[in-house]
Amino acid sequence: MNWVAGHYHCAACQRDYRQLASCPECGQPLQELKACGAVDYLCQNGHGLISKKRVNFSYQPL
């Protein structure tokens, strides 16, 4: 998939997708925090900051 105008585009199926980040502990959506070029994720259900390496990413059709 390629990043195009604020979403991901799959050339094989010609569909657009948005990326969703979820907590590896509880599976709930994460809040994305961007600062100084770095991206971190915050679980608002008590699991705190989650590094990008641990985040579960999924893709939802637009």
Task: Convert the pLDDT of each residue in 4-61 to its tens digit.
Answer: 988 999 999 999 999 999 999 999 999 999 888 888 999 999 999 999 899 999 999 9
* Closest C-alpha among 49, 59, 61, 60 to residue 23: 49
> Given this model, what pLDDT does residue 37 score?
85
The neighbour count for residue 32, using CB atoms within 10 Å, is: 13
Q: Residue 42 carries which side chain, given as an amino acid letter?
A: L
Walk me through the domains of the chain, giving residue ranges and CATH numbers.
2-61 (2.10.290.10)
Give the pTM.
0.77
